Amino acid sequence: MSGNFSMTLLFAILIFKIIAISITVTSGWRGGFIIPLFFVGATLGLIIHKLFPTINLTLAIVSCMAAINACVTRTPMGTTILLATLTGFGHFIPILFASLTGYFLAPKIPFISSQMEK
């Protein structure tokens, strides 16, 4: 599956999706950001798998999805439970580890306006 896309295309998709998310979230358009963050994580997982082919594709994708979502939403446990349920990936510990890594490495400034102090 990952062999169908070039690295240039994957990087372009990654960059343009991040730009699209930032435009829609900051402009106040209706809609969520969790599924787009999962898309960004899946794209990053494909890039990592193409750079290091020995890494399991599913593990790379799900781990990147968990880390990015937990970084932005600041919800490592919710992200872990959601991804384990939605993807059917049977290994709970790597998802939890990726979520906690994203959570602890994220800046302390919230990305989401509802998380900011009033």
pLDDT of residue 22: 85
Alpha-carbon distance values, 43 to 11, 31, 47 (Å): 8, 20, 6
Q: What is the pLDDT of residues 25-53, one digit of tens each?
A: 778 777 778 899 999 999 999 999 999 99
Q: Where are the domains of the chain?
A: 2-110
31-37 long-range Cβ contacts below 8 angstroms, 24+ apart = 33/72, 33/112, 34/69, 34/73, 37/65, 37/68, 37/69, 37/72, 37/73
The mean pLDDT of 70-83, rounded to a whole number, is 92
pLDDT band, very low/low/confident/very high, at 16 (cuts 50, 70, 90)? very high
